[in-house]
Structure 1
Amino acid sequence: MRSKSELQDAIRRDRRAAVVVNTRSRRGRRLYDVVRLRLADVGFDLLGCFPVDRPGELGGVLAAAIALGPDLLVVGGGDGSVSEAARHLAHQDIALGVLPLGTTNNFARALAIPPRPAGALAVLADATVADVDLGQAGDLIFANHVNVGVSAQVGARVPARLKRHLGKSAYPLTAAAGLPWHRPFRARITAGGEAYEVVTHQLNIVNGRFQAGRPITRDASVDDRLLHVYPLGGPHRRQLVAATLHQAFAGRRRPTAPPFLATDDLTLDTDPPLPLDVDGEVHGRTPIRVRLLPNALRVLAGPTFRDT
């Protein structure tokens, strides 16, 4: 493995990159050609460019792009695409460049990458390499979150048209609409020899500062070596309705409360056993061990990102 500075120098000098764009994401199809042309304009040697427009083919395309031997893999898409790329690049000597083309773009926000394509492409041109943490739920690596509860249902049910029109607000609104049929559950979290219990409709385990496109706390980051665990609302439906609507519409000025637990390793059990929402995709069920993978991924970060 090269050091961060060695990999950064190689990217800036040789500009060897591969590009994978999820053209099924919110903006991917429209921006695919723009991304290729802009990267070529700023001097990147594009070893391969891959549009992905069919479900299930992203993993194979990422593997093919990595096999070309780039120093930088540019991935355009939403949090699901970025998470899949992070799994392929974990502990590898290749940097991930993120083009946020999805709805919430939590991981891109955590890296201080501007939401507009021009700003994100400028981050790629500058090529500042940082090391960040990932998480692992069971045997599955994730970039942003593992959630239990309403979100596991929402991820499969949120209408594509609503996502296009409302962006990240589509998720909490879909969650609120489904609450009349959702029952609270008891979650038991064991970490550091201590056990914690909470009754809620939604429990979030987050790597970084952002969830559903909003900040969850002021002092978390994607390289703080911690996972942040908190319930969204309490056992009553009205509490989750209020929390999800507040999250949807309060915007950046909303006060951010600290999460109730910060740890690098935990075991989660629920009554009843529940499916897991892992970066927007349903994978596995409780009980599950969730742990942090420190400095597991090399990325290109925005100018205001603090690499610690």
Structure 2
Amino acid sequence: MRTKQRLTEDIHRDRRAVLVVNTHSRRGRLLYEGARTRLLAAGFDLIASYPVDKPKHLERTLITARESGADLVVAGGGDGTISTAARMMAHRENALGLLPLGTTNNFARTVRVPIDLDEAIRTLAEGKVVDVDLGLAGDMPFTNHVGVGLSAAVMHAAPPPLKRLAGRWAYPLTGALLLMRHRPMRVRVRAEGVQHEFRTHQLYVANGGFHAGRPITKDTDADDRLLVAYPVGGRGRFGLVRETLRNASIGHRRTLDDDVFLPVGELWVETDRPAPVEVDGEPRGRTPMRIGLDANALRVMAPADTVDR
């Protein structure tokens, strides 16, 4: 396997890339041709480019892309698309390039890839290859987070017609309805020989530094060999709403020293009743669950001044 430095040099010199864009989303459809044109204008030799309008074809297309011989596989889409691309590209010699075309773009923000399309392509052309960690929910790799409780119930319950009509607002609308009858969980988190207990409607375990497009803390990232577990609110329903708003507004000022955060390398989550789990926004079983880290699992094209641990 080539070193990261050698792979960076090869990308800069040969510009051999494959483009995969999720065109099932409206933003992906609108920006696919523009992204392709901009990559060609930046000097990239596109071995192939794939507009993927059926989500069930995304994994297969990414496998084709990674086996194409290209040094760089460029994935365009939202957090779900990028998470799928990360799983497909884990432990591969070639690098993943990001075109953030979603609403929150959490993983792109974590690895400091600009949200602006032109600047993101500049990063692909002038940046460098770095290693980042992936989380493991059981045996399922993830880029951003695992949600236990209400957020997972919402992913299961949001009606497809409402998602088509309301887009991303379908989830908070569904969450508001579910919250009125959602019972708090007793959560036990075992990590590093210590058991922690919470009474809450929602627990998150984050790998990256952003959630819902906002910083979790100012000192988290995807290359620190840490997961961060934290409950949102207590047993009261409105505490969940209050803490969600508070986290969004002051996350950029908080640090891992805050008592609410539990930074660890691995943990075991149990609940007093089997609770639904979502992994990067996709339903993924129920508790109990082991959540761990796959350190330096993914090669990503990041800005040239990125600190690579």
Q: TM-score normalized by structure 1? A: 0.92
Q: Does 1:256 align with 2:257?
A: no
Q: Match of 2:223, SS?
A: coil
What is the CA–CA distance in structure 2 between the aligned matches of 1:149 and 1:238, rounded to whole Å?
A: 15
> 1:232 Cα deviation (Å)?
1.1
The answer to whether the 8 Å contact 2:214/2:251 transfers is: no
Q: Provide structure 2 residue ranges, at least 5 long, that are not aligned to the other structure.
A: none
What is the CA–CA distance in structure 2 between the aligned matches of 1:302 and 1:176, rounded to whole Å?
A: 39
AA matched with 1:293 = D
AA matched with 1:126 = E
What is the CA–CA distance in structure 2 between the aligned matches of 1:278 and 1:206, rounded to whole Å?
A: 10
What is the CA–CA distance in structure 2 between the aligned matches of 1:123 and 1:26, rounded to whole Å?
A: 24
> 1:243 Cα deviation (Å)?
2.1
Q: Match of 1:305, SS?
A: coil
Could you give the per-residue CA deviations for residues 135-187 of structure 1, whole angstroms, max 9, x where no partner exists?
A: 111111111111111111333527344446x7xxx755653443102111111
Q: Match of 2:74, SS?
A: strand
AA matched with 2:209 = R
Q: Match of 1:205, SS?
A: strand
What is the CA–CA distance in structure 1 between the aligned matches of 2:306 and 2:79, rounded to whole Å?
A: 19
| 1:149 aligned partner | 149
Q: Match of 2:70, SS?
A: coil
> 1:190 Cα deviation (Å)?
0.8
> 1:108 Cα deviation (Å)?
0.3
| 1:72 aligned partner | 72
| 2:61 aligned partner | 61
| 2:102 aligned partner | 102
Q: Does 1:223 align with 2:223?
A: yes
Q: Match of 1:159, SS?
A: helix
What is the CA–CA distance in structure 2 between the aligned matches of 1:200 and 1:59, rounded to whole Å?
A: 35
Q: Match of 2:61, SS?
A: helix
Instruction: Note the 1:103-182 alignment, pairs <5 A.
Output: 103-156=103-156, 157=158, 159-163=163-167, 171-172=171-172, 174-182=174-182
| 2:283 aligned partner | 282
The answer to whether the 8 Å contact 1:200/1:231 transfers is: yes
| 1:39 aligned partner | 39
What is the CA–CA distance in structure 1 between the aligned matches of 2:252 and 2:11, rounded to whole Å?
A: 38
The answer to whether the 8 Å contact 2:110/2:221 transfers is: yes
| 1:29 aligned partner | 29
Q: Provide structure 1 residue ranges, at least 5 long, that are not aligned to the other structure.
A: none
Q: Match of 2:115, SS?
A: coil
The more displaced of 297-306 and 236-245 is 297-306
Q: Match of 1:102, SS?
A: coil
Q: Does 1:272 align with 2:273?
A: yes
> 1:197 Cα deviation (Å)?
0.9
The answer to whether the 8 Å contact 1:184/1:201 transfers is: yes
| Length, aligned pairs only | 302
| 1:307 aligned partner | 308
Could you give the per-residue CA deviations for residues 278-307 of structure 1, whole angstroms, max 9, x where no partner exists?
A: 011011221111111111100011355332
The answer to whether the 8 Å contact 1:95/1:129 transfers is: yes
The answer to whether the 8 Å contact 1:135/1:293 transfers is: yes
The answer to whether the 8 Å contact 2:216/2:252 transfers is: no
> 1:111 Cα deviation (Å)?
0.9
The answer to whether the 8 Å contact 1:173/1:245 transfers is: no
AA matched with 1:2 = R
Supply the RMSD in Å over aligned alpha carbons. Answer: 1.9
| 2:297 aligned partner | 296
The answer to whether the 8 Å contact 2:218/2:252 transfers is: no
Q: Match of 1:181, SS?
A: coil
Could you give the per-residue CA deviations for residues 241-276 of structure 1, whole angstroms, max 9, x where no partner exists?
A: 21234456x3x7864353521111111111211221
What is the CA–CA distance in structure 2 between the aligned matches of 1:254 and 1:11, rounded to whole Å?
A: 34
Q: Match of 2:55, SS?
A: coil
Could you give the per-residue CA deviations for residues 15-50 of structure 1, whole angstroms, max 9, x where no partner exists?
A: 111111001235111000011111011111111111
What is the CA–CA distance in structure 1 between the aligned matches of 2:213 and 2:20, rounded to whole Å?
A: 23
What is the CA–CA distance in structure 2 between the aligned matches of 1:192 and 1:39, rounded to whole Å?
A: 46
